Amino acid sequence: MAYATNIQTTAQSGLVARLNAAIVALRAHSARRRVYKETFRELSALSNRELCDLGLSRSEIRRVAYQAAYEV
């Protein structure tokens, strides 16, 4: 008994590979930006007292949001 299989493996050309890499990079950037904006918005909504309880001042919100989004 013989089986016929049709397996197609397509090597990505230079243009397609670069386009896919650009799309992946754009999605990663969008996801990081979303984390930054959400963290910034949530911390900004806290009162000064609540921020103090967390050990933060209002001037540190941008740095903390950046660290949450862009640093590992």
For the cut 90, the answer to whether the pLDDT of residue 7 exceeds it is: no
Asked if the model's pLDDT at residue 4 lies above 90, the reply is no
pLDDT of residue 13: 80
**CA-wise closest residue to 60 among 72, 47, 44, 49:** 44
Does the residue 28 lie in any domain? no
Written as one string, the DSSP assignment of 7-53 is: ----PPPHHHHHHHHHHHHHHHHHHHHHHHHHHHHHHHTS-HHHHHH
Residue type at 45 in one-letter notation: A
22 part of a folded domain: no
The reply to whether 67 falls in a domain is yes
Give domain status of residue 13, yes or no. Answer: no
State the average pLDDT over residues 4-11: 63
2 domain-assigned: no
Question: Does 12 fall in a domain?
Answer: no
| Structural domain of 58 | 34-72
Look at the chain and report how many structural domains it folds into: 1
64 domain residue, yes or no: yes
pTM given for the model: 0.73
Identify whether 8 is part of a domain.
Answer: no
Structure tokens at 41: 């918005």
Q: Give pLDDT, residue 2.
A: 65
